[in-house]
Amino acid sequence: MSHSHNRVILWRHGQTDWNVENRFQGHSDIALNAVGQFQVKHAAPLIAQMNPTKLISSDLGRAINTAKALSVLVNLEIEIDERLRETNGGNWEGKTGEQNRLEDFTNFVRWIDGDDIPAGSIGERRIEVMNRGVAAINDALKDKTNQTLVVATHGGTSRCIIGGMLNLPASNFTSIGGLSNACWSILESSPRGWHLVEHNAGSIPEPILGEESGGENLR
């Protein structure tokens, strides 16, 4: 597949209330808030100009509703793939960064710093998120060339996918900057593999919210 010319646009969902609160969302199905809906409506026309040929999305509502803003513009059906979900945060889900520091300081900080340990003790490791996310993209592009694949997904998952597609070790995934809500990164294939050609682009500058997505602990 690496010899074909394909482009992958990883698009993080719009803002949710839990993003604003730096609350670990993981597999929790938290809806876009009003700001998030505004963000995706602004971003979608810019992504539409890149002439997407296929649109896939995480099965969580915040990603699906992000994808919908684009699908109506480009007349593409959304293909749902649960492998594009956010990292399962285990015992950290639903809790703020502050709470997780209080209750599980050592593991939480180790995880934030890039150690490939299960999130929240019983959740996923980054390498597991990478494997499922990259597999979803490989399946979507199988035997295809000259595709522009838009992937509506999550901040943490996007970093793991980028790391995997660039063949970085899992310990280096956190050296990839986070993705802001409704912003995107673009990877392009060449005979030498995948290249990150654009990172955290967007229609309006946005802070990166949520530590699970590479944001700062602002609380």
* Residue 121, domain member (yes or no): no
Quick one: which H or E segment has residue 79?
Answer: strand 78-80
* Residue 97, domain member (yes or no): no
Q: What is the pLDDT of residue 94?
A: 97
* Residue 103, domain member (yes or no): no
- The reply to whether the predicted model has a pTM over 0.85 is yes
| CA 89/CA 212 separation, integer angstroms | 9
Task: With a cut of 70, say whether residue 71 has pLDDT above it.
Answer: yes
Entry field: residues in the chain: 219
* Residue 17, domain member (yes or no): yes
Q: How many domains does the chain have?
A: 1
Query: CA 204 → CA 181, 200, 209, distances in Å?
Result: 10, 11, 14
* Residue 203, domain member (yes or no): yes
* Residue 98, domain member (yes or no): no
CATH value at residue 190: 3.40.50.1240
* Residue 11, domain member (yes or no): yes
- Band the pLDDT of 207: cuts 50, 70, 90: confident
HSE, side-chain direction, 13 A CA sphere, residue 194: 21
Amino acid at 163: G
* Helices 61-74 and 34-48: angle between axes, nearest 10 degrees: 40
Q: What is the pLDDT of residue 206?
A: 77
* Residue 130, domain member (yes or no): yes
Q: What share of the chain is helix, strand, coil (3-state, %, to 5)?
A: 40, 20, 40
- pLDDT 10s digits, 111-130: 999 999 999 999 999 999 99
- pLDDT 10s digits, 7-26: 999 999 999 999 999 999 99
Query: Tokens in use for 156?
Result: 């943490």
Please provide the average confidence, as pLDDT, over all residues in the chain. Answer: 94
Q: What is the pLDDT of residue 2?
A: 41
DSSP letters for 118-146: -TTTTS--HHHHHHHHHHHHHHHHTT--S
The domain of 166 spans 6-88+126-213
- Band the pLDDT of 88: cuts 50, 70, 90: very high
